[in-house]
Amino acid sequence: MRILVHIDDAADWQAALQERLPQAEVFTSDQTVESIDYLAVWKPPAELLERHAEARGIINLGAGVDALLGNPGLPADTPIVKLRDAGMGELIADYCLYGLFHVQRDFDRYREQQDRAEWREHQVIDKRDWSVGVLGLGAIGRHVAERIAAAGFPVRGWSRSPKTLEGISCHHGEDGLYDLLGQVRTLITLLPNTPETYHLINAKTLATLPEGASLINPGRGTLIDESALLDALGEPNGQGRLRSALLDAFPEEPLPSDSPLWRHPRLLITPHMAGPTPLGAALDQVVETLEAWGAGREVPTIDRSAGY
């Protein structure tokens, strides 16, 4: 079995895979290789996919496959497997809990007061009265929803089709989406990037949120209509309908330096760091997939038409 790895820490992946699969030959994309059996990649260049169109399978070293599916070099029929949670859920849940406590305990307001040397305590709103919405109940969304519920917050989850999660009020479909939006103080978006989710967070959906709600997006940047978000936040020196937003993903990355998002005081921006792929936790999934392919066993692959 010949495997080619393309990711920022490819050398670490190469060493780890070689140790776990001693009979395999593992290469990185900066090595010249004539032919391979499988690709393990994260956002590869088109020419790499074109050069190795003979690959019998591709493992996407992350949960989001939109960049790979949009790659012009992607072969039409090669099966694709993506990582499912693989340790990312825990990291993203930590990120979301930070963002949630940032507003629930008024750290955003205390930071503004610090600039004015203003000493004023805000009354704490009980977690039981702070309903949280989680859009997307896949492996990562489920983990996030369960962690937040375990922290004491009432959680409402939304998915395209019906789901049942213990301790989570589950909604689905368009009616379910708007029902959820009208009842949550913080909204977390963990949906994939598909034609159906493009700009799902827009002027209409933002207006459905209660006054003073907050938004956390560790999902895909294309979920949010940025102009509508800025309108909902209002003027930098005023107060908009939306209290604040914590954003980790953007349609164009790095976020351009002239983007007005950088300069809005009620926006907190992070550089797509909410859920990096931890090699240790992901390695088991990658090895399991490669061993199954090598033995000729069926492996669950993504649905290209659905986008995930």
Enumerate helices (H) and strands (E) in the chain, giving the number of each.
Answer: 10, 12
Active site residues: 220, 272
Can you list the alpha helix ranges (DSSP code H) found in 8-56? 10-20, 46-51
Place of tokens 């090595």: 31
The token pair at 36 is: 């391979």
What distance in Å separates the CA atoms of residue 54 and residue 36, rounded to the nearest whole number? Answer: 7
> What does R_g of the chain's alpha carbons equal in angstroms?
21
Q: Other CB atoms closer than 10 Å to residue 170's CB: what's the count?
A: 18
Instruction: Name residue 179's amino acid.
Output: D
Query: How buried is residue 282: exposed, middle or buried, by Cβ count under 10 Å (0-12/13-18/19+)?
Result: buried
Tokens 């199954």 locate to 292
Residue 194 structure tokens? 């598909």
Q: How far is CA 37 from each of CA 4, 7, 22, 70, rounded to the nearest angstrom?
A: 8, 17, 16, 22
Tokens coding 78: 């090669």
Dihedral over Cα of 35, 40, 45, 49: its sign = positive
Q: Which two tokens stand for residue 93?
A: 């849940």
- Report the alpha-carbon distance of residue 281 to residue 140 in Å, rounded: 14
H/E run at residue 112: helix 107-115
Cα–Cα dist 141/163, whole Å? 12
